[in-house]
Amino acid sequence: MIFIISWYATPIGRKAPLYPMPHLIGLIIIIAWRDKIAGYIHSGDKTEMVMGVALCGFSSTMTGHMLGNLIFMALLSNIASPSFFMALLPLSVMERLMITLIGTVIGVPFILIVKRNFPNLIRNMGT
């Protein structure tokens, strides 16, 4: 939420007010389904695990993306513009969806391997 607010605190952010919409979706996912996402990730059902990892992954990648945008604006303010960000938005969304997909494809099997080989580790995490 701080990064989204920070976006609107910049001159570029005020001129490109729709840019953070995918980031807001990521924030809403976490706010609305925080407890369910954790339950999905720790469930034994692979479909639920995929859903949990994907939702968590999308939200986290959008957070990192907004931080990167803010750093980019701070360091390269001479080339950053509202039209620059809006032109790249479709590409950014596709990139973030691919990162989410790749993270899910890697993350779910990794969680299953950890659960199988290190059951005490998962039990000690409070689940």
Q: Could you read off the pLDDT of 71-89 as tens digits, one per residue?
A: 999 998 788 899 999 999 9
CA 22 to chain centre: 9
Annotate 48-68 with DSSP letters as a single string.
HHHHHHHHHHHHHHHHHHHHH
- The number of C-alpha atoms within 13 Å of 79 and in the hemisphere containing its C-beta is 5
Those residues whose C-beta lies under 8 Å from the C-beta of residue 88, and which sit 6 or more positions away, are none
> How many structural domains is the chain composed of?
1
Please give the residue range of the domain that contains residue 27. 2-123
How far is 15 from 8, CA to CA, in rounded Å? 9
Report pTM: 0.88
Q: Could you read off the pLDDT of 100-112 as tens digits, one per residue?
A: 999 999 999 999 9
